[in-house]
Each structure stands twice: as structure tokens, then as C-alpha cells.
Amino acid sequence: MPEPVRNTIERLDRPSAYYLGRNKKRKFNRDHVGREDRERTPEDTEDPLKDATTLYVGNLSFYTTEEQIHELFAKCGEIKRLVMGLDRFNKTPCGFCFVEYYNHQDALDCMKYIGGTKLDERIIRTDLDPGFQEGRQYGRGKSGGQVRDEYRDEYDPGRGGYGRAIAEERLKEEEEYGRGR
């Protein structure tokens, strides 16, 4: 039997690594007794992203406005809804959003043409999303923002300076040893 042909590029409408990892059944889950549950592969299940019209947009600056995002993403198709990601406590933008189009092809075009481009001097990341649900617009970090911003140790002015955990450590050190470093 000849070896199957492999593509050199990946499909744009494939499920993201985040989405696959989140929905993966645990290897040692004892709740499922039957072997057929464990032997099921991701190809056996229905792909929730095959007709997805929503995009997750990440790595945005905290200062990027809805108008800037709408202006850029409207170039790929008519936008149905745009939801900014907010800090859970302060209700300020925290670097991500959801863009919903009217059809799947517009979302794919957006991933192809806009994903990886710069907006506010930051390279943005786009990924298909199974659909926005209320509550997902808030950051999941301890301080209300995104988890990745909690422990960032380099200074990033577009995302609020140092990570919050690192900034707190620096403040404690300054109080303990003084400001003269």
C-alpha cells in the first residue's frame, strides 16, 4: 500500500492546539469503563471549527481600541460582532478580543491575511474559535487580566509594563532595600 501524501502546509481551519488540549480526554480517566472511549481519535469526533465564524485575536496592546480592530478586520468581510477582552476587576482592555463574521470563509480569509500582521506595533495572533459565550470576555489571571501577563519578567509598554507578579516583587524589594540600586 503506498504511503499517504502529506501536505507541506497546514490547513487554516484546523483546530488550535489550545482547543485540542482543552478537550482531550485524560489518559488515565477511570470514569470511562469501555475501551472504545479511550480508542477514539480526534478524527472520529465532529470538528466544531469546520464552520466557525468567530476568531480569537491575541497579543493586542492594552491601548488598542475597538475602532482600530474593526477597521482592520472589516477588510476581510462584514463583522457581525466584536467583543473586547476585559480585565475581570478593572473592566479595562487586557490584550485580546473576539471577532465574529457572518460566514466561515471571511474568518478563514482573516486568519490568512491578517494573522501575523502588526497592529499598534505588536504582531497579532488569530485563531478560529468555536464561538463566543458570555463570560469569556474576562481575563482568567489571578489579578483579573490574562494569565500570560501575570508572570512576564520583561518590560512591555504595550501590555502595561512588567507582569503583575514581577511588579509586586519589585515593589517589595524596593521597600525592603530602598530605591538606590
For the chain, the straight-line distance linking the first and the last C-alpha, in angstroms and rounded, comes to: 69
- The CA-CA-CA angle for residues 79, 16, 140, to 5°, reads 80
For residue 10, the model assigns a pLDDT of 66
Query: What are the pLDDT tens digits along the chain (181 aa)?
Result: 677 766 666 666 666 666 666 666 544 455 555 545 555 555 556 777 888 899 999 889 889 999 999 999 999 999 999 999 888 888 888 888 999 999 999 999 999 999 999 999 889 999 998 888 888 777 766 665 565 565 566 666 666 666 666 666 777 777 778 765 5
For residue 75, the model assigns a pLDDT of 94
CA–CA separation, 94 vs 58, rounded Å? 10
Model-wide pTM > 0.75: no
CA–CA separation, 80 vs 21, rounded Å? 28
For residue 100, the model assigns a pLDDT of 94
- The CA-CA-CA angle for residues 95, 96, 102, to 5°, reads 155
If you search the block for the grid coordinates 511588579, which residue do you land on? 167
CA–CA separation, 11 vs 26, rounded Å? 26
For residue 83, the model assigns a pLDDT of 93
